[in-house]
């Protein structure tokens, strides 16, 4: 006997998803509010840095009080993060992964306020850290906190996951990428009911950021038209190049903790004094190199920083110099035991590598200068997708940022090649690798087996 619709479908209004969706939306709204304030403060202080550093360059006597200010910030930051150092340093994503794997536990309120204030103290002076990592961890703590206080401990894990996705969505104004990031980097599973709740959280968080900043993505990259098919043969070469440098990034990042652990006379909570002092000459050289920094990417796009602007080999030497500076100080900043992410710094490095690739192609008359921004976007996606080993998140994130699907196929090709090269070299998803490095108990048990 063939069943009819009445025998297959559930009774109307018998679904139990409504309560979960309301809870997810609440997580999204609260996360969106916290992240929006976090973003606004960082944006304002970065604008202040663009004013302060030229003043110090013109009047070097001002550098001394600025150094004293950095020492004070180091002490205050150290006092805040020291009680929960391992929980609040870095992006927080490896710690959240461990929570969802039952390898770690966090007191939500203590972590939330420390991550908020500590993240501001680390990022606002210009350390080359991303805001998205702290936003993700704060979102997870919001989900946990609401579950434990307002929702009688219902759906704690799901609401933590909603907070993760909402945090990323609010940080970048990219709700779909936020949901994909959760599935591809954190949970590694797709359960329709949970994903619907996650989407409710991401669009709620993004709605709040729209009220603060408008509906333009925080890293809007206007790229129009298609990359010519005749230039597609260059994409595997770009992918190989970016895959090799993605492995260099992972290898260096995973060695930071052993390197910094050799500093015995200075407690880990106060290692931030090293990048705080060393980064001052960078700010005096070019303050726009400081921070996350989406401003630098905007400048690259607005200036159309291609080969025609420079004489001689400056078109190649300048982006290489900027890449080396950003690479070194991103590592110094992240390795110094402070709250801050690697998401945006990776995208900035990808953009600088994109400049190198695009200018070489333009110089070789393989592509016209019109396609300079296309190569930048493709390189950002490929470099990020390889390091994170999250190609879907990379492609969707850049697609949401540029507001068009015209670059999807070139991004897929370059990202796939870069991912494959990294995998051949032995690379891992970077957040998983960082979690393994933290040696949570279950990881130790697995290694013994």
My answer on whether 399 and 428 are in the same domain is: yes
My answer on whether 399 and 290 are in the same domain is: yes
pLDDT at 350 over 70: yes
- Are the C-beta atoms of 175 and 139 separated by less than 8 Å? no
pLDDT at position 446: 42
Range with the largest mean pLDDT of 146-150, 189-193, 194-198? 146-150
My answer on whether 244 and 107 are in the same domain is: no
How many structural domains are present in the chain? 2
What's the 3-state SS for 229-281? HHHCCHHHHHHHHHHHHHHHHHHHHHHHHHHHCCCCCCCHHHCCHHHHHHCHH
What are the φ/ψ torsions at residue 130 (nearest 5 degrees)?
-90, 150
User: Sorting pLDDT into bands at 50, 70 and 90, what band is 304?
Assistant: low
Range of the domain at 169: 17-213
Mean pLDDT within 244-257: 95
How far apart (Å, rounded) are the C-alpha atoms in residues 255 and 434? 10
My answer on whether 310 and 351 are in the same domain is: yes
Q: Could you tell me how far CA 278 lies from the centroid of its own chain?
A: 23
Computed over every residue of the chain, the mean pLDDT equals 88
Query: Does residue 201 sit within a domain?
Result: yes
Query: Does residue 298 sit within a domain?
Result: yes
Mean pLDDT within 147-165: 91
Exposure letters 206-242 (e unless 16+ CB within 10 A, then b)? bbbbeeeeeeebbbebebeeebeeebeebbbebbebb
Mean pLDDT within 121-142: 93
My answer on whether 339 and 384 are in the same domain is: yes
Query: Does residue 28 sit within a domain?
Result: yes
pLDDT at position 84: 93
Predicted confidence (pLDDT) per residue in 29-43, tens digit: 999 999 999 999 999
pLDDT at position 445: 44
Query: Does residue 313 sit within a domain?
Result: yes
The CATH number of whichever domain residue 136 belongs to comes to 1.10.3080.10
Does 205 or 2 have the greater pLDDT score? 205
Mean pLDDT within 358-377: 88
Query: Does residue 220 sit within a domain?
Result: no
Query: Does residue 159 sit within a domain?
Result: yes
Q: What is the pTM of this model?
A: 0.90
My answer on whether 361 and 422 are in the same domain is: yes
Mean pLDDT within 310-316: 62
My answer on whether 203 and 239 are in the same domain is: no
My answer on whether 329 and 377 are in the same domain is: yes
pLDDT > 90: what percent of the chain? 59
pLDDT at 447 over 50: no
Query: Does residue 350 sit within a domain?
Result: yes
- Are the C-beta atoms of 307 and 363 separated by less than 8 Å? yes
pLDDT at 202 over 90: yes
Query: Does residue 344 sit within a domain?
Result: yes
pLDDT at 395 over 70: yes
My answer on whether 205 and 331 are in the same domain is: no
Range with the largest mean pLDDT of 12-21, 306-315, 375-384? 375-384
Predicted confidence (pLDDT) per residue in 33-91, tens digit: 999 999 999 999 999 999 999 999 999 999 999 999 999 999 999 999 999 999 999 98
My answer on whether 198 and 311 are in the same domain is: no
Mean pLDDT within 220-234: 85
My answer on whether 117 and 207 are in the same domain is: yes
My answer on whether 312 and 432 are in the same domain is: yes
Exposure letters 115-150 (e unless 16+ CB within 10 A, then b)? bbbbbbbbbbbbbbbbbbbbbbbbbbbbbbbbbbee
- Mark which of 213, 239, 271 sits at the end of a domain: 213
């Amino acid at each position: 006997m063939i069943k009819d619709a009445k025998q297959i479908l559930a009774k109307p209004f018998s679904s139990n998803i409504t309560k979960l969706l309301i809870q997810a939306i609440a997580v999204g709204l609260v996360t969106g509010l916290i992240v929006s304030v976090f973003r606004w403060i960082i944006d304002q202080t970065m604008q202040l840095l663009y004013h302060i550093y030229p003043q110090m360059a013109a009047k070097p006597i001002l550098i001394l009080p600025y150094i004293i200010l950095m020492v004070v910030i180091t002490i205050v930051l150290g006092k805040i993060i020291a009680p929960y150092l391992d929980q609040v340093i870095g992006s927080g994503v490896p710690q959240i992964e461990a929570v969802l794997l039952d390898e770690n536990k966090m007191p939500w309120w203590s972590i939330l306020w420390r991550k908020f204030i500590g993240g501001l103290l680390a990022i606002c002076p210009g350390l080359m850290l991303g805001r998205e990592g702290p936003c993700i961890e704060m979102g997870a703590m919001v989900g946990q906190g609401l579950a434990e206080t307002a929702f009688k401990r219902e759906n704690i894990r799901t609401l933590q996951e909603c907070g993760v996705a909402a945090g990323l969505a609010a940080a970048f104004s990219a709700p779909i990428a936020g949901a994909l990031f959760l599935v591809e980097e954190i949970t590694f599973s797709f359960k329709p009911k949970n994903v619907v709740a996650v989407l409710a959280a991401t669009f709620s968080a993004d709605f709040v950021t729209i009220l603060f900043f408008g509906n333009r993505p925080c890293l809007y990259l206007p790229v129009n038209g298609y990359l010519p098919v005749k230039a597609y043969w260059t994409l595997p070469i770009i992918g190989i190049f970016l895959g090799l440098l993605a492995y260099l990034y992972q290898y260096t990042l995973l060695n930071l903790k052993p390197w910094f652990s050799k500093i015995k006379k200075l407690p880990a909570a106060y290692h931030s004094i090293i990048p705080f002092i060393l980064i001052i000459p960078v700010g005096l050289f070019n303050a726009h190199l400081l921070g996350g920094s989406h401003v630098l990417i905007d400048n690259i796009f607005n200036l159309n920083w291609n080969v025609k602007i420079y004489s001689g080999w400056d078109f190649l030497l300048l982006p290489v110099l900027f890449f080396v500076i950003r690479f070194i100080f991103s590592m110094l900043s992240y390795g110094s035991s402070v709250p801050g992410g690697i998401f945006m710094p990776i995208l900035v490095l990808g953009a600088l590598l994109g400049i190198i690739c695009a200018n070489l192609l333009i110089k070789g008359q393989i592509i016209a200068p019109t396609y300079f921004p296309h190569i930048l976007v493709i390189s950002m996606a490929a470099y990020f997708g390889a390091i994170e080993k999250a190609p879907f998140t990379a492609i969707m994130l850049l697609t949401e940022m540029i507001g068009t699907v015209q670059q999807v196929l070139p991004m897929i090709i370059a990202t796939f090649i870069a991912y494959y090269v990294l995998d051949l070299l032995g690379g891992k998803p970077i957040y998983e690798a960082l979690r393994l490095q933290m040696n949570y108990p279950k990881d130790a048990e697995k290694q013994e087996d």
